[in-house]
Amino acid sequence: MNVFKPKAHFKRVSQIPFSLLMSWGIRSVFLDTDNTLAPRDSDAFTKDALAWVEACKRAGFLLCIVSNGRPGRVKRASEKLGIPFVNPALKPLSYGFKKAAHMMKVSPKQCVMVGDQIFTDIWGGNNAGMKTILVEPVDPKSDGLWTKWIRRFEKRHLGPSPEGL
């Protein structure tokens, strides 16, 4: 298994069908914040991300933010979205993923990590034995210099996705 390869990839979180998650046996959805739900370091969640998160809750999935972002902002995101969080998650280490699975009382196999970065969200989620979904960054211009640099290497790991884009 290629630990850098997501199980599926989509342009936006709002394009992830619940039927796909159900077919994978998912009970818990772990969400990155920076450039997955909002631009990096921002509280400006996209409307479609907010709507998808609400629909995800109504569909019965247990949601949790798993973020390396700044503590104050991650806490605000958790309050705004009404879902718990693990922060700092220390992605790509498996620490945060395991902590989130423990909090949600689910096994890693029942979890999917959704995020915009291969070398944190996808690598870490795969290593923790979870399913993973890559989304395109909400606003790539907001990325830090390190992330901008490393994104060129991310692209090499993205073959055709069996599902998604």
Which residues form the interface with Mg ion (CB under 5 A)? 32, 34-35, 116
State the residue number with the nearest CB to Mg ion. Answer: 34
Q: Between 3 and 150, whose beta carbon lies closer to Mg ion?
A: 150
**Least Å distance between CB 82 and Mg ion?**
20
Report which residue type is found at 127.
Answer: N
Q: Between 23 and 43, whose beta carbon lies closer to Mg ion?
A: 43
Q: Between 66 and 162, whose beta carbon lies closer to Mg ion?
A: 66
**Least Å distance between CB 12 and Mg ion?**
13
**d(Cα 47, Cα 42) in Å, to the nearest integer?**
14
Q: Between 101 and 116, whose beta carbon lies closer to Mg ion?
A: 116
**Least Å distance between CB 60 and Mg ion?**
25
Q: Tokens representing 96? A: 């945060």
**Least Å distance between CB 116 and Mg ion?**
4
Q: Between 104 and 135, whose beta carbon lies closer to Mg ion?
A: 135
Q: From residue 46, how far is each of 52, 116, 126, 127, 137 by CA, in Å?
A: 10, 14, 26, 29, 12
DSSP codes, 19-65 = HHHHHTT--EEEE--BTTTBSTT-----HHHHHHHHHHHHTTPEEEE
> Residue 46: beta bridge partners?
none
The Cβ of residue 125 has, within 10 Å, a number of other Cβ atoms equal to 30
**Least Å distance between CB 85 and Mg ion?**
14
